[in-house]
Amino acid sequence: MDANDLINLAYVAAATLFVFGIKMLGSADTARRGNMVSGLGMLLAVVVTLLADGLDYTWIIGGLVVGSAIGLAAARMVKMTAMPELVALFNGFGGLASLLVAWAEFEKVREIGWVAYELEMQANTVFSGFVIYAAMLIGGVTFTGSLFAYGKLSGKLSGSAMVFAGQKALNILLLIAILAVGAVFTWSTDLELAYKLFLTGIALALLFGIMGVMPIGGGDMPVVISLLNSLSGVAASAAGFVIYNNVLIVAGCLVGASGLILTVIMCKAMNRSLGNVLFSGFGAASGGG
Amino acid sequence: MDLVLLFFIFVLAAFLGLELISKVPSQLHTPLMSGSNAISGITVVGALLAIRSEAEGTIGMILGVAALVFATVNVVGGYAVTDRMLQMFKKKGK
């Protein structure tokens, strides 16, 4: 059994702890222990990943220390009432991290070229291009969407729905542009062109995150944050496909799927449908309601 | 690793995630969201693996370190704030 087998076995244990953690978080008696169980899974996944070959520990320790200090300080100092917006901010950071992981991998492709990359990773280049773009896109939308939600909840931005004429058409155009750029990126073999498309894709994704949250009112923000939380899971899962890592795929997908169900439950508690929450702002533009 | 196998675990994890949540009391909606947000910080593992000392170019390295910092804030802050929420929940309940 080599180090890789050991790492993967530990990933199985970590994924199991995540499953139990989420399950226990769903009922009042076990919720706090559930959070600790899932935290233990995360600790296990991180510690065992440090056994991988060729890591640069100086930067890793620095990054872990800085990130932990910021995270702990923010979580300790935040007022009780400001917790939901802090969760939104954290969620945005998670999305940004997925975007950056995808970008770092694309830099590796740019460094050695698609052919060498295909040999080294034993990957299909079209599939790799597709998942790199997907992880970047979902992570980017999660990032700016969550930041915008944070701004609305914390009162730094106006909490009311912002609607303007032609907003729906603009968003649809934006979506089409994102998909078109992605399609050309995925099948492009010219790395110079692919790089430009990738940077354009990042800009479009960041813009789309803002545009998507803009027409939604402040009262609906918890539902939107829950949906963005689900998206950040999908982004992590996509990043897992980029680097062929099973714990990212499983944990991200668990969060994506359970987050989606939670979002639907939250909508039902408000006697609304998810579509109604997401698109009611558009109705407000024409019908005033 | 075999791509088909990865798809396989992805689909199974999706169904597991869909079944995992049911009838959550409404006071627990926010802590549950916060707790699963911390789990989505699993990208931290991807960030760690991006920080390699071999020739990978400076930009890739910078991106990896930035990803690590943001993902760590998400993970550590996420778990800590969820714990605080649940702590206060318990006090209120009793």
| B37-79 pLDDT per residue, tens | 999 999 999 999 999 866 557 888 999 999 999 999 999 999 9
Distances in Å between the alpha carbon of A87 and those of A74, A150, B64? 10, 8, 23
pLDDT at site A288: 34
- ipTM of the shown complex: 0.92
**pLDDT of residue A281 exceeding 60:** no
Q: Which of B74, B56, B47 is nearest to A60 (CA)?
A: B47
**pLDDT of residue A72 exceeding 60:** yes
Residue A257 near chain B (CB below 8 Å) = yes
Q: How confident is the model at residue A67 (pLDDT cuts 50, 70, 90)?
A: very high
Q: Which residues contact A242 (CB under 8 A, 6 or more apart)?
A: A101, A102, A105, A128, A131, A132, A135, B46
User: Do residue B6 and residue A244 have CB atoms under 8 angstroms apart?
Assistant: yes
**pLDDT of residue A283 exceeding 50:** no
Q: Which of A19, A93, A37, A39 is nearest to A255 (CA)?
A: A19
Chain B residues near residue A5 by CB distance under 8 angstroms: none
Residue B54 near chain A (CB below 8 Å) = yes
pLDDT above 70: percentage of residues in chain A: 96
Partner residue facing A83 (CB), from B43, B66, B85 = B85
- Write out pLDDT tens, residues A227-274: 999 999 999 999 999 999 999 999 999 999 999 999 999 998 888 888
**pLDDT of residue A284 exceeding 70:** no
Q: Tell me how close the Cα of B4 comes to any Cα of chain A, in angstroms.
A: 11
Q: Tell me how close the Cα of B49 comes to any Cα of chain A, in angstroms.
A: 7
- Mean pLDDT (whole number) for B9-24: 92
Least confident of A212-226, A256-270, A275-289: A275-289
User: Do residue A67 and residue B76 have CB atoms under 8 angstroms apart?
Assistant: yes
Q: In chain A, positions 130-169, which contact chain B (CB-CB < 8 Å)?
A: none
> Distance (Å, rounded) from C-alpha B48 to C-alpha B3?
22
Partner residue facing A31 (CB), from B23, B31, B78 = B31
Q: Tell me how close the Cα of B7 comes to any Cα of chain A, in angstroms.
A: 9
User: Do residue A249 and residue B10 have CB atoms under 8 angstroms apart?
Assistant: yes
> Distance (Å, rounded) from C-alpha A57 to C-alpha A50?
8
- Mean pLDDT (whole number) for A106-114: 89
pLDDT at site A115: 87
Chain B residues near residue A7 by CB distance under 8 angstroms: none
pTM of the entire predicted model: 0.93
Q: Residue A195 CB: number of other CB atoms within 10 A?
A: 16
Q: What 8-state DSSP symbol labels residue A55?
A: B
- Mean pLDDT (whole number) for A75-88: 93
Q: Which of A94, A2, A4, A10 is nearest to A45 (CA)?
A: A10
Report the 3 state secondary structure along chain B.
Answer: CCHHHHHHHHHHHHHHHHHHCCCCCHHHHHHHHHHHHHHHCCHHHHHHHHCECCCCCHHHHHHHHHHHHHHHHHHHHHHHHHHHHHHHHHHHHC
C-alpha dihedral sign at A74, A263, A38, A233: negative
Q: In chain A, positions 6-65, which contact chain B (CB-CB < 8 Å)?
A: 15, 18-19, 21-23, 25-28, 31-32, 34-36, 38-39, 41-42, 45-46, 49-50, 52, 54-56, 59-60, 62-64
Chain B residues near residue A222 by CB distance under 8 angstroms: 29-30, 33
Q: What 8-state DSSP symbol labels residue A245?
A: -
β-strand partners of A237: none
